[in-house]
Structure 1
Amino acid sequence: MSKGSGKFIQLEWECPQCDGRNPGPEQSCLSCGAPQPDDVEFVAPAERKYVSDEKSLKAARSGADIHCGFCDTRNPGNAEICSQCGGDLAEGERRKAGGEVHQRAAEQKIRCSNCDAENTSSNHTCAECGAPLAQQKLASAQSDAKGIKASGGAKEKASPKKRGCIIGAVLAVIALCVAGAVFLFAPSESVAGTVSDVHWQTSIAVQEQQEVRHDNETGSVPSDAYDVSCHTESEQVCTTELVDQGNGFAEEVESCDTQNEEYCSYTALEWQTIETFTMDGNDYNPSYASPSLSNEQRLGNEDIDYSVNFSTEKGNIDYAPDDLDEYRQFQLGSSWNLNLNRLGTVVSVER
């Protein structure tokens, strides 16, 4: 549901002839005199300032402007007679309104190459010396935040240059992270080591079904669940947008939607680990415990860890082989080269 706030903002439009920026209600460009196009694109200024004087508020509330059906002159929305030809505006056509208007990006600063004075990116000539700034004007001032057409057309896409800058910045951060990881974890030195000890440890879980209570869960309730109770929670989410009035002004409109989410509490039988049996040894033939099970029990996950200890000039260093085949290569007393990273961790081993 949308609701107007009664707060209005004067919009801006850019002249297609000279790129001059003009107040929304102005019918002609203040820089070159060119008429405001019928399909003008309005945009809200970077700093949102609400209209407060009675004259502007009256104009903002007057409705969409009317183009005279006889001479095409643009007239205020509450006018009945054309200001140019005196024709009956009942025969005229109102400007389309109701589309969302976007807000400009924050003004950026540029320096004049002639006098080094600082200007806003929307300026076309230097405020200090009058030198043209056309060659220095930032493209983002024209493309970053253009509004939709007064007819309520599609939103402008982000400029390729801006997208490229964003993507470039993200890639730069990723590259720095990767470079840092490579620096820390890449091999930095090699030391000789002799296998002084090996160790393995296995574990196996025994499970049985037990009642598990779940409270206020979202998503589907299991089909075999019981003691189920559900309730719906509602939340109102509101956003504001600027809606084109068809007369160079926009109204701040609040749109609220009610979002519903169902939460359920229930009990279900689930396999739970009730005990874990471990075994370990210092040989090359690891094995798992064989616990006896009742009819209501089952074996859960099996896990195994391998460890090899090397004696080096830097002291004892541990290494964790990935599998049994690799583990069995490290016979007691055998010699290896250990490649270490800057953290002193073994990256790889080789004969």
Structure 2
Amino acid sequence: MKNLYILFLITILSCSSNSTNNTTQVTANEADLYFPPLNSSSWDTKEISNLNWNENNVQSLLDFLNEKNTKSFIVLHRGKIVIEHYFNGHAENTNWYWASAGKTLTTTLTGIAQDEGLININNKVSNYLGTGWTSAPLAKEDLISCKNLLTMTSGLDDSLGESVSPENLQYIEDAGQRWAYHNVYVKLQDVVAQASNQTWTNYFNTKLKDKIGMSGAWIMLDDLNVYFSNTRSMARFGLLISNNGKWEDTQIVSESFINDAINTSQNINESYGYLWWLNGKNSFHLPQSQFEFNGELIPNAPNDMYAALGKNDQKIYIIPSRDLVIIRMGEAADDSNFALSTFDNELWEKINLIIN
């Protein structure tokens, strides 16, 4: 089944768009950028007609989302809500899990901790957690830096299930020599907690959640710390990142760190940053595969788009050139539960009929 899925995905995704490859950039003209107020359910909206979009195709998009097991969908333009819709009993204040889209929350907190001088991502993980946090030989464990966890290049076994207990973190190849999508990134939460001398949840709440008005909580799911929130909280986070890590007049995480996070982070998977997926590159790797595929990650999406992608099609799409943040939460659109699926390309085909 896995091989069949990969072959199908190759067919869909290997057809590159005709637009020019560009290095992902964060752009924002702050003059008219809107931020929803903290501790309030109010959020300004913008009419589709004011954007010269094709409003006639909105219902087709909503029908498609409904058919594809979607629970919620939001489109922000310069921070204001243009489209917001809930499906199948989901509501504005209903929480849902981010799955691996929440990896980018860990990225952001890692950046904040580095900005504060608590950690350095180039340091080895053992500096913060001590030795023996993996089952790798000590000499090999010492090669693994925090940056390796951010870039999925730890060299540890990615085939031993969800757990990140030491017995599941076994040596495959030296750090930096192999890209493999892996839950070992969650060890960064332990690094930040240890370096800040507080719990991960407390550090997250005070440094990010409360500062941008997010709701939600971290919940243990399948031995992993997974974030649950309403859809607007996911949109708040996407808005923060789209504006260089700045919320109104407050720099939450440095612009330089965000720039590093949303550009190619290593020389193996061109389409991967610091736990962010990058569109518009010449090649990409998929989870649980060591193949390199030619072409863009999501051919129908804009070249400069970067994305947080989670199991069962949890999505944060950020498109700097169009000033857009797009959120999708729900069940798996199709049979695949990979972080990336053919649904991404199908969804962008529908979105393009509106925004282009």
Q: TM-score, normalised by structure 2?
A: 0.19
More helix per residue: 1 or 2?
2
Q: TM-score, normalised by structure 1?
A: 0.19
- The structure having more radius of gyration, on CA atoms, is 1
More strand per residue: 1 or 2?
1
Q: Higher RCO, 1 or 2 (CA under 8 Å, sep at least 6)? A: 2
